[in-house]
């Protein structure tokens, strides 16, 4: 597994709720490439609960939507926007859980429309939530000009996540 370098880190005005390391109320996700999949490990906390000790469904949707976007960045080397997201909540997640694991991969591409499947697992590796995001991708020129995106690279060296 290789850590993905955040191409916007340090960009003036960058404050994404999902992935900015500097957003004080954001979820501060980090991403790794594991073969065809993009992976993230995230620690839930009480500030993200819906019902008592239960991770809010909207936060789960954020985690899934964000990893789908990063799948586009890394695998297709461009940007885009989510045009549709279908989410299935299967099992609640405790805000006391050690971590959650989120995985995503591209399942189909039709020109600039890309379908990404994502799944969220609790620390016991049980499938809790899954989503399919339909992404409208931009041309590399538009990604560069409007999204300040040149490429999404990985760090040298393998990382083993001890879970």
Residue 31: name the closest of 85, 82, 69, 76 by CA. 69
Residue 120 placed within a domain = yes
Instruction: Give Rg (Cα) of the chain.
Output: 15
Do 77 and 130 meet the contact criterion of CB atoms below 8 Å apart? no
Give CA torsion, residues 71, 50, 125, 159, to 10 deg.
50
Per-residue pLDDT of the chain (163 residues; tens, 9 = 90+): 999 999 999 999 999 999 999 999 999 999 999 999 999 999 999 999 999 999 999 999 999 999 999 999 999 999 999 999 999 999 999 999 999 999 999 999 999 999 999 999 999 999 999 999 999 999 999 999 999 999 999 998 777 765 4
Residue 141: CATH number of its domain:
3.10.129.10
pTM, 2 dp: 0.94
C-beta contacts of 24-29 below 8 A and 24+ residues apart: 27/59, 27/62, 27/63, 27/66, 29/63, 29/66, 29/67, 29/70, 29/102
Total domain count for the chain? Answer: 1
Domain containing 114 equals: 2-147
Residue 81 placed within a domain = yes
């Amino acid at each position: 597994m290789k850590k993905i370098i955040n191409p916007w880190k340090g960009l003036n005005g960058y404050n994404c709720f999902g992935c900015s390391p500097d957003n004080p109320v954001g979820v501060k996700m980090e991403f790794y490439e594991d073969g065809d999949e993009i992976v993230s490990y995230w620690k839930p906390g009480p500030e993200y609960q819906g019902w008592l000790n239960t991770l809010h469904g909207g936060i789960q949707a954020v985690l899934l939507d964000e990893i789908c976007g990063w799948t586009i960045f890394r695998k297709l080397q461009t940007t885009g926007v989510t045009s549709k997201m279908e989410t299935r909540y299967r099992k609640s997640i405790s805000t006391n859980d050690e971590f959650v694991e989120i995985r995503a991969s591209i399942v189909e591409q039709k020109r600039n429309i890309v379908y990404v499947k994502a799944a969220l697992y609790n620390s016991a590796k049980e499938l809790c939530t899954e989503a399919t995001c339909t992404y409208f991708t931009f041309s590399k020129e538009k990604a560069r000009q409007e999204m300040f995106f040149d490429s999404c690279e990985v760090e040298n060296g393998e990382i083993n996540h001890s879970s």
